[in-house]
Structure 1
């Protein structure tokens, strides 16, 4: 994770760089539908106004104590790493710090705390297993987006913030909204170029798309005013409207951007994408053009932003690869990837860096991204806090929630395999090349995933990066934790085994490490394994639901004993 600046310092694969200065405008060239070159300019904002992704979060801490409340040994803020924090000065446009009512007699300091240091709130671990290279990647931080959280009903939340001790109040973002947290896990195949590209750039695509789509806050706060619209009456009740929808009428610019992206897919890739119509796009279809009811454009929501950002990033990646020399055939780069396609110049990613290495990369990557937003400054890990989770998912990386009351896992994603009913119906309309391997699993041109980033040679037959999105409104302490993992974990352990291992750990950091170690220990193929664990409001009660972590203990012990038995190692 060690990426602090907005535009990350890349690895060795990122050879081409661009120095961006305030006021400089980047020139993007691409082909129009008629085949003519079209140039458009996109201003590169100055550092003061640049939209930021940060690997830290901002919160309030008492100036006179190590913890938000040193007398309390419990609560979501009692282990915030004060030693790792640094003072934070709100940037231009940020709202003024809100003094939490729960600590009225203490001086508060607004600080930045790196997520990787908040071990009691977030943890990540990965292992290359028995593979030569680790093709997994992950990312975590705060992303600059308008809030998409749903307000709790006024009858439930009578005050703007829960008046409880030790909550570690978060600061507002540039939009006057609470911070939006971003977590992502990416599982590369054929190499790490695509997964590293997503780790370093995908959040930038999401931020940029939200800005271009003019996404508005679901809380009714204004980005320019930078102040919360909440008010409190003399009796201490919250006088905000109960909820405002986070769907807004699409602007002509939104429709134009989505139409241009679809046209680029048709020209550049063709095949499956000639009749491609994403679920959350605002582009009317031909069949609904004459029907005023069906022809109504869907609103601009966080789901439409994620769909566009994923597809834009995927098209930029494969277009950049198609223009590079093929290491397997030095002559193939002299011809289009497909006979009838037109390859334009790829857009630069938000950071302005190059995409991939010097030669063509034919592999790809899966991606699962989780965004968490709250309607009040109370952080999402507070037991009394309401929050909203939005997940965008491509491939077979997985995201789980653990229900506090029952102790059972709640999968938020479903694997995109050719054998799944939804994917099978989608693919069989465009391809008959589904084959079954020796393990009985269906594959599409040798790929186990029917949705993925990259995989340029399989795009025409339907391997798409269109994400499947899921929204979950989380009540106070309704869920204990959130877990993201690559298929090196989910393909080895059951969902219940994963949550039971996490329940036995003391901190999310320890939980992520134990999940990866256990999956690697009993794995039969030694795949790369990555796990992220995020604390939610019910963390302290994670072992109360159901039978705690005992439900799979015997199974896990037996699997570990079998894996360690030298007489059985050769049979795996």
Structure 2
């Protein structure tokens, strides 16, 4: 566009690029948008077009490929044309977003809004497999016929809210990659993903896949022994194997045999001690390996080359401090951890034991220390391309796609399911479990965790309509943690929860974790923590707590709704939900003219109440926007709470 506003509408033209006079476009745009947009969202677009009268708009052909996410939604007009509706955040966009860091040093909340695509046939098969007779009836009549309809019929609007803890990396990774992983997961990834989850041990030792169980090849699953690898369990098994059993003559044994058994036990004890020393001296992560390399070479340590260049990095010392290289015995030298050049062998051996290989960092470090930088110091390893995707956006998607191949062994599903496809709930579960595995495999991501609340909106109208003007809408939520999503009723303004709080004292979560014993600890203020540390019993990351039942399996709720019966969906983090009730959030959005105004109303009231945590509010309008009935039942309560707040006094320590 030349000399006009930043807003642009792109139309499909099968012939060639042409220029269209904006004056001629205004009437067609207004007629088109009256069919697909509510009046409140239409006024601004018309005003922008009228203000730019006389400008010229370049119209270019556009084609959308399925299975590829976008930051816009495509729509069809009754005359056969199409247009794009941007999903980028703005004051005049089709949804509202408000965020605040609160009093925290960092903003760990993130949001993700995009349009993901699945083949219409896959979505239809998923709906027909539902237990809801109403949904099956609607799905049987929903059948896009023309190629243009099929291109837009598979679009799902993706709105997500993430609340990180322990740092920013995990929530930022989910913001950039989770929707892409949702599109990319396949049926042949299920069995290996379930096997990895079982290898976490503890709570997951007998995990069979949950919603994914029908896709698992049971014969491919390897048993996970309870307590395997624990030094105490290993010593107990060794002692039991060498304990004299006696014979018919009585429990006593010959003195020579007893002496021989004791000697064998001492030898085994020495071997176990050497194994433990070797294990402790090995670097557990790539960061440990880099730190040990920075410490400098041993007095006479062997130099190991890294990459294909001439530069070398010293091998990690294996003996204790104070020992010289010349005094080390052959046994101690054998116990030394592998050098950088031996890391591929270490990775392969870890894979054979069922452990998680390092995804990417080893290769990245080797490639960076090539012949073009042979004289670089060890400290330069910190600046090599080994950062998490959030800090290097151009390579984030490629790294995540590479993880699908490098981490997961492709095992065909059972033959009885050869012609079947993943349902929407199964795809969400697989994407969540696989994303959690990707986080565990990256040392720079596996430093904390994050909650996640995602809502997918799919129009079942014919022709397909945008989510905010769809009369028949299939709504799916996938949720872990304590972020919150609500659906607002048009009839009386009731707040309908779409998610539950995954806290240790929640009834469903306490039932799920009962077999782990007394893991819930309540402090003197009544706040419950699982294992004394975590407020959430479901989350991404938090690898140290997976064995005790912290899972990334999402709680999925699906329902077919009439767009005219509901005004909006609102999502918010615990920084908002911790100081406000569900009904207060919905009532604050009641009379807002635009979703942007509604989101900022909620955030502003939370700040007035003294909210200190990161706060995020995401408001998604539906067809019933602006027509909410009933009374503002929490108005007097909000005014009373506001009058009793003294931020200066309450903030004193």
The alignment's TM-score, normalised by the length of structure 2, stands at 0.55
8 A Cα contact 2:75 2:152, kept in partner? no
1:15-26 matches, within 5 Å, as none
How far apart, in 1, do the equivalents of 2:450 and 2:136 lie?
43
Instruction: Quote how far apart the aligned CAs of 1:67 are.
Output: 3.4
How far apart, in 1, do the equivalents of 2:519 and 2:34 lie?
65
8 A Cα contact 1:418 1:449, kept in partner? yes
- Rate the CA distance shift 1:98–1:473 in 2: closer, same or farther, 3 A: closer
Identify which of 330, 334, 352 aligns with 2:398: 352
Residue-by-residue CA offset, 1:481-505 (whole Å, 9 max, x unaligned): 0001111111111000000011132
Residue-by-residue CA offset, 1:325-371 (whole Å, 9 max, x unaligned): 269x979x9899x9x97332338998123778875642100000110
How far apart, in 1, do the equivalents of 2:98 and 2:58 lie?
25
How far apart, in 2, do the equivalents of 1:537 and 1:487 lie?
27
8 A Cα contact 1:450 1:462, kept in partner? yes
- Rate the CA distance shift 1:491–1:278 in 2: closer, same or farther, 3 A: farther
Residue-by-residue CA offset, 1:507-555 (whole Å, 9 max, x unaligned): 101111111121122135x00000100000110202x2x21xx211111
Hey, what does 1:569 align to over in structure 2?
650
8 A Cα contact 1:76 1:383, kept in partner? no
Largest Rg, 1 or 2: 2
Matching of residue 78 in structure 1 with residue 91 in structure 2: no
Matching of residue 67 in structure 1 with residue 30 in structure 2: yes
Hey, what does 2:192 align to over in structure 1?
260
Instruction: Quote how far apart the aligned CAs of 1:562 are.
Output: 1.9
Hey, what does 1:132 align to over in structure 2?
105
Matching of residue 458 in structure 1 with residue 545 in structure 2: yes
SS in 1 for 2:587: helix
Instruction: Quote how far apart the aligned CAs of 1:79 are.
Output: 3.9
1:136-285 matches, within 5 Å, as 136-147=109-120, 148=123, 175=151, 177-209=153-185, 212-213=186-187, 253=188, 257-267=189-199, 269-281=200-212, 282-283=214-215
Instruction: Quote how far apart the aligned CAs of 1:116 are.
Output: 1.9
Instruction: Quote how far apart the aligned CAs of 1:286 are.
Output: 7.2
Identify which of 67, 70, 89 aligns with 1:116: 89
Hey, what does 1:424 align to over in structure 2?
510
SS in 2 for 1:191: coil
The alignment's TM-score, normalised by the length of structure 1, stands at 0.63
Instruction: Quote how far apart the aligned CAs of 1:558 are.
Output: 1.6
How far apart, in 1, do the equivalents of 2:620 and 2:509 lie?
30
How far apart, in 1, do the equivalents of 2:77 and 2:103 lie?
49
More helix by share: 2
Residue-by-residue CA offset, 1:466-485 (whole Å, 9 max, x unaligned): 00000021113111000011
Residue-by-residue CA offset, 1:383-419 (whole Å, 9 max, x unaligned): 5611101000000001100011121000000011111
1:485-524 matches, within 5 Å, as 485-524=572-611
Identify which of 91, 100, 118 aligns with 2:63: 91
How far apart, in 2, do the equivalents of 1:360 and 1:553 lie?
43
What root-mean-square deviation, in Å, do the aligned CA atoms of Structure 1 and Structure 2 show? 4.4
How far apart, in 2, do the equivalents of 1:67 and 1:559 lie?
44
How far apart, in 2, do the equivalents of 1:436 and 1:512 lie?
33
Name stretches of at least 5 consecutive residues in structure 2 with no aligned partner: 1-7, 13-21, 50-56, 67-73, 129-133, 222-282, 294-315, 317-336, 339-345, 362-388, 390-395, 401-437
- Rate the CA distance shift 1:455–1:67 in 2: closer, same or farther, 3 A: same
- Rate the CA distance shift 1:505–1:330 in 2: closer, same or farther, 3 A: farther
8 A Cα contact 2:75 2:464, kept in partner? no
1:379-394 matches, within 5 Å, as 379-381=465-467, 385-394=471-480
How far apart, in 2, do the equivalents of 1:392 and 1:155 lie?
24
How far apart, in 2, do the equivalents of 1:122 and 1:471 lie?
21
Matching of residue 479 in structure 1 with residue 566 in structure 2: yes
Hey, what does 2:529 align to over in structure 1?
443
SS in 2 for 1:518: helix
Hey, what does 1:164 align to over in structure 2?
none
8 A Cα contact 2:196 2:354, kept in partner? no
SS in 1 for 2:398: coil
Identify which of 520, 524, 538 aligns with 2:624: 538
How far apart, in 1, do the equivalents of 2:399 and 2:92 lie?
31
How far apart, in 2, do the equivalents of 1:57 and 1:182 lie?
22
How far apart, in 1, do the equivalents of 2:573 and 2:9 lie?
25
Hey, what does 2:268 align to over in structure 1?
none
SS in 2 for 1:325: helix
Hey, what does 1:374 align to over in structure 2?
459
How far apart, in 1, do the equivalents of 2:103 and 2:181 lie?
33
Q: How many residues align?
A: 416
Name stretches of at least 5 consecutive residues in structure 1 with no aligned partner: 1-55, 162-170, 214-252, 290-320
